[in-house]
């Protein structure tokens, strides 16, 4: 099971676990493997060894990799698939149900009446459904928000909905304004997360469209929005949206100007570090590697994250490929460990100070919760706890505390005891 690769810019530590189950359509079905011990350290030969941490006198009492608790909130929804908060200081959490409803958690309880119900417009099941909600900066004054879903014919939709002027816990299903539709050739690999970046632009992840191996070559096709991260101006641009003038491919022949980054297989989850603005995009692998991609806040975009030339750091189904110009993952793990990475968040809350600055993620196929961070400039990751959950998403509340969703219904809180 030991795999060694010496590749520039990488540190790979893999923790082997027992696992079971498959994410619907995300992985390629490689879903069982033996368990084992800690394995697989790949150090970056191109960088000097980091300085050792100072010894003694440290006021930091945290273990390097603290154990976390994943605690049931006693709240459940029907196939919850996305959870987030609104930037309106209301303290509410919004839980997206795959079937087409959005529920509100307020004052520790789940409101009986959905915030929005568009079940009749949504294809549902597998990787399809109502996939995400995003609130623009200034939401409290604007009174509208965005959703991403797959419509009845399977195509991806980004649209805007308005909150009822009379009731902040109720949106108007008749208020839909469709901003963007993207043809989906197959039911799987839709991506579909939307989130506002620290720059006030809306980011949307789209998978390669589906079918094995991206044989349509969508992720590397710069005329296609599939297999991309988009960045669009929904707030100050023309209708239905504008293109930020500093998008990396503006004015380039053969490129869709919405593209911020390319070369993704199924970037199911991405997030911005709320303290630094760095972007973490977890790309679900085919049958060998699950990866976390790191883009510093200083990036101007335009990265090519490799699929389907590469899977993880390796050439995809080939001994040789041209990796020139490709951005390799910050961290990857093999399908000996999992089969569908569920990207999370860099923890910036206050309840669990030992998690400060650590990127938390999971894998749908084994329910583990891992931490990832740079130690001396090198990315490292360790298992923080095991669960028996089918974790499908993480989310942050207003204060930066973390939640996890089990596709079977449960809503969980993550913290260090
Ligand atoms: Ca698709
Ligand atoms: Ca990649």
User: Phi, psi (5° rounding) for residue 268?
Assistant: -60, -40
Closest ligand by atom to 155 CA: 1
Q: Residue 32: its pLDDT value, please?
A: 31
Alpha helices in 326-375 (DSSP H): none
61 domain-assigned? no
Closest ligand to the CA of 224:
1
Ligand at minimal distance from the CA of 209 is 1
Residues 378 and 44: beta-carbon distance below 8 Å: yes
CA nearest neighbour of 333 among 301, 365, 299: 365
Are 352 and 327 contacting, i.e. CB atoms less than 8 angstroms apart?
Answer: no
Ligand 1 centroid to residue 57 C-alpha, Å: 54
Q: How far is CA 377 from the centre of its chain?
A: 23
- Give 251-291 as a DSSP string: T-TTS-TTEEEE--S---EEEE-TTT--EEEEE--SSSEEE
CA–CA separation, 410 and 404 (whole Å): 8
- The pLDDT value given to residue 380: 98
| CA–CA dist 315, 408 (Å, integer) | 35
Within-domain flag for 10: no
Among the bound ligands, name the one nearest to the CA of residue 208. 1
What span, in angstroms and rounded, lies between the C-alpha atoms of 158 and 366? Answer: 31
φ, ψ of residue 236 to 5 degrees: the values are: -125, -5
Largest CA distance in the chain: 62
CA-based nearest residue to 225, from 188, 271, 258, 178: 258
How far is residue 111's CA from residue 367's CA, in Å, rounded to a whole number?
28
* Ligand that comes closest to the CA of residue 263: 2
Any idea what DSSP says for residue 196? E
User: What is the number of domains present in the chain?
Assistant: 1
CA of 80 to the centre of ligand 1 (A): 20
Backbone phi, then psi, for 237, in 5-degree steps? -85, 180
Assigned domain for 273 exists? yes
Task: Give me the tens of pLDDT residue by residue for the chain, a chain 417 residues long.
Answer: 333 333 333 333 332 222 333 343 344 433 333 233 233 333 333 334 444 444 444 446 899 999 999 999 999 999 999 999 999 999 999 999 999 999 999 999 999 999 999 999 999 999 999 999 999 999 999 999 999 999 999 999 999 999 999 999 999 999 999 999 999 999 999 999 999 999 999 999 999 999 989 999 999 999 999 999 999 999 998 999 999 999 999 999 999 999 999 999 999 999 999 999 999 999 999 999 999 999 999 999 999 999 999 999 999 999 999 999 999 999 999 999 999 999 999 999 999 999 999 999 999 999 999 999 999 999 999 999 999 999 999 999 999 999 999 999 999 999 999
What pLDDT is attached to residue 60? Answer: 66
Selection from 318, 254, 326, 324 nearest residue 283 by Cα? 326
For residue 181, what are the CA distances in angstroms to 85, 178, 240? 25, 8, 11
Q: How many CA atoms lie within 13 A of 131 on its CB side?
A: 31
Does residue 246 form part of some domain? yes
**Any domain includes 64:** no
> Residue 401's domain is classified under what CATH number?
2.120.10.30
Distance CA 283, CA 292 (A): 6
Q: From 228, 224, 260, 255, select the one nearest 244 (Cα to Cα).
A: 260
Q: What pLDDT score does 104 carry?
A: 98
In a domain, 59, yes or no: no
Distance CA 337, CA 20 (A): 10
Using only C-alpha atoms, the chain has a radius of gyration, in whole angstroms, of: 20
The span from the first CA to the last CA of the chain, in angstroms, equals 33
User: Which residues line ion ligand 1, judged by CB < 5 Å?
Assistant: 184, 186, 189-190, 209-210
The Å distance, Cα 86 to ligand 2 centre, comes to: 31
The answer to whether residue 126 sits within a structural domain is: yes
Residue 20 domain flag: no
Distance 148 CA to ligand 1 centre (A): 13
Cα separation, 42 vs 371, in Å, equals: 17
User: Could you tell me the two tokens for 405?
Assistant: 């969703």
Output the DSSP codes for 92-105: -EEEEETTSEEEEE
User: Which ligand has the shortest distance to the CA of 185?
Assistant: 1
Q: Could you please report the per-residue DSSP string of 114-171? A: -SEE-GGGB--BTTBSEEEEE--TTHHHH-EEEEEEEBTTS-EEEEEEEEETTEEEEE
Instruction: Give the number of whichever ligand sits closest to the CA of residue 26.
Output: 1
Domain that holds residue 245: 76-343+389-408
Ligand 1 center–CA 229 separation, angstroms: 15
Structure tokens at 96: 């997206």
């Amino acid at each position: 099971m030991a795999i060694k690769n010496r590749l520039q810019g990488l540190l790979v530590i893999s923790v082997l676990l027992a696992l079971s189950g498959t994410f619907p359509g995300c992985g390629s079905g490689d879903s069982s493997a033996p368990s084992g011990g800690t394995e697989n350290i790949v150090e970056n030969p191109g960088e000097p060894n980091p300085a050792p941490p100072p010894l003694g006198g440290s006021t930091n009492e945290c273990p390097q990799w603290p154990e976390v608790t994943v605690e049931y909130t006693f709240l459940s929804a029907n196939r919850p698939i996305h959870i987030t908060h609104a930037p309106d200081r209301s303290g509410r959490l919004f839980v997206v149900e795959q079937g087409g409803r959005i529920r509100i958690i307020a004052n520790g309880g789940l409101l009986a009446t959905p915030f929005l119900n568009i079940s009749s417009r949504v294809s549902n099941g597998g990787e399809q459904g109502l996939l995400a909600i995003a609130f623009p900066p200034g939401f409290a004054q604007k009174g509208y928000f965005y959703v991403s879903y797959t419509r009845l014919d399977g195509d991806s939709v980004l649209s805007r909905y308005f909150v009822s002027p009379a009731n902040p816990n109720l949106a108007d299903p008749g208020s839909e304004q469709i901003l963007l539709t993207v043809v989906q050739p197959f039911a799987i690999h839709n991506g579909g997360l939307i989130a506002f970046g620290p720059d006030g632009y809306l980011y949307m992840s789209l998978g390669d469209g589906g079918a094995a191996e991206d044989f349509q070559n969508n992720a590397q096709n710069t005329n296609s929005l599939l297999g991309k991260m988009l960045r669009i101006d929904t707030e100050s641009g023309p209708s239905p949206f504008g293109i930020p003038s500093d998008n990396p491919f503006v004015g380039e022949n053969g490129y869709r100007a919405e593209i911020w980054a390319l070369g993704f297989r199924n970037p199911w989850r991405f997030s911005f570090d709320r303290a630094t603005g760095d972007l973490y995009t977890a790309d679900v692998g085919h049958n060998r590697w699950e990866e976390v991609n790191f883009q510093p806040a200083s990036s101007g975009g335009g990265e090519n994250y490799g699929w389907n030339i590469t899977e993880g750091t390796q050439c995809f189904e080939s001994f040789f490929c041209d990796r020139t110009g490709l951005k390799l993952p910050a961290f990857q793990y093999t399908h000996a460990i999992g089969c569908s990475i569920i990207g999370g968040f860099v923890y910036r809350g206050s309840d669990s100070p030992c998690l400060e600055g650590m990127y938390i993620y999971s894998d749908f196929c084994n329910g583990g919760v891992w931490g990832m961070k740079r130690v001396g400039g090198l990315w490292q990751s360790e298992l923080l706890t095991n669960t028996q959950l089918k974790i499908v998403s993480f989310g942050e509340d207003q204060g930066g505390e973390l939640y996890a969703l089990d596709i079977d219904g449960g809503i969980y809180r993550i913290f260090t005891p």
